[in-house]
Amino acid sequence: MNRNTAIDFYALGTKNSIRAYGSGGSGALRAACRRVRAIDRAMSAFRPGSDVWRLNESAGCGPVRLGTETIDVLARAQEYAALTGGAFDCTVRPLTRLWGIGGECERVPSVREISDTLPNAGYKGLAVNRDNLTAELARKGMAVDLGGIAKGYAADEIKRLLAEAGILSAIINLGGNIVAMGRRGDGRPWRIGVQDPLALTGKPLAVLEVEDRTVVTSGSYERFFIRDGVRYHHIIDPRTGSPAASGLLSVTVVGASSIDADALTTALFVLGRDKGLELLRMLNADAVFISEDSELTVTDGLRGTIVKCSDKEA
């Protein structure tokens, strides 16, 4: 009897899928899908009435009471902002809005527009109070965008729900934010490809063999637009107000918690390889970097986990 179950759905601005193997019911998958949709309803910056939308509407007007989950994710975002010196910064929304990232009309703003908008970003202007469940943006014009962390939170939530339903083996994929639960049905580790950002074929540059791990990638090739032959992508360097130009095509973090990995990949993409490696050493975390010349850099903790599909090595 085939007891595998699968669900595909759209939420959080991306395509998502859950595949569960062996045992467990489709009810758990449907519940997981509902959960992700609820997270989207609370945390989308684009949805009128969402927590994040209300917070942004109230910028400069004092604290706003929000749902526990949104407060938790905002608090985690702030931890990562402090930890990465602001490379991860969920208050980049005025800048992502200026560039039209996330659905609006994408365009290249003028230098003047960017320098005028930069003062409206900055995580120090966001206060999160976990005790009374409020958050506050200090100045009018400020706004939050949880696009760099919400998928990781949602993936962790799905894992929790599936585990509670007794599912031991599953692949959760929220727009490239992957959680590999347990092992494959044949008892072997899951094999997750690290995509070659330049290959049109989808052929991976390397394969990660993992068990009970999350694998999260941030890449400039995922969401971008081209104007006058220049490629502009969706990860903003909060210091410059423009798409990060750190010499990377992608960063993949392998870890235990998807929310941590999600925030970290975005930050590493902004910081670049060398500063990124320093941060990873400090956090005792692991990642694979792919540079613009397709050079692969792998942290020591992933030796034995990664199988390279090409000869290129750092």
Name which of residues 121 to 180 contact ligand ADP (CB under 6 A): 145, 147-148, 151, 175-176
CB-based contact 146:135 (threshold 8 Å)? no
Comparing every residue's Cβ against ligand ADP, the nearest one is 147
Q: Which is nearer to Mg ion, 136 or 156 (CB)?
A: 156
Pairing of strands 213-219, 190-195: unpaired
Q: Which residues in 251-277 are b (16+ Cβ under 10 Å) and which e?
A: bbbbbebbbbbbbbbbbbbbbbbebbb
Phi, psi of 135 (to 5 degrees): -140, 155
Q: For the segment 253-312, give every residue that binds ligand ADP (CB under 6 A).
A: 262, 265-266, 270
Three-state DSSP at 171 gives strand
Which residue has 């509670």 as its token pair? Answer: 164
CA distances from 119 to 90, 126, 239 (A): 14, 13, 10
Among 40, 156, 262, 286, binds Mg ion (CB under 5 A): 262
**Candidates 3-11, 95-103, 182-190, 280-288 — which segment interacts with ligand ADP by CB under 6 A?**
95-103
C-alpha to C-alpha distance for 212 and 159, rounded to whole angstroms? 10
Quick one: what does residue 276 bind among ligand ADP, Mg ion, none, with the CB cut-off 5 to 8 Å set by partner type?
Answer: none
- Within positions 264 to 293, which residues make up the interface with Mg ion, using CB under 5 A? 265-266
Distance of CA 269 to the CA centre of its chain: 11
Residue 96 interacts with, from Mg ion, ligand ADP, none (CB under 5-8 Å by kind): ligand ADP
Pattern 21-60, ligand ADP, x by CB under 6 A: ----------------------------------------
- Which residues bind to Mg ion, rule: CB under 5 A? 148, 262, 265-266
Which stretches of the chain bind ligand ADP, using CB under 6 A?
Answer: 88-90, 92, 96, 101-102, 145, 147-148, 151, 175-176, 218, 222-223, 234-236, 238, 262, 265-266, 270
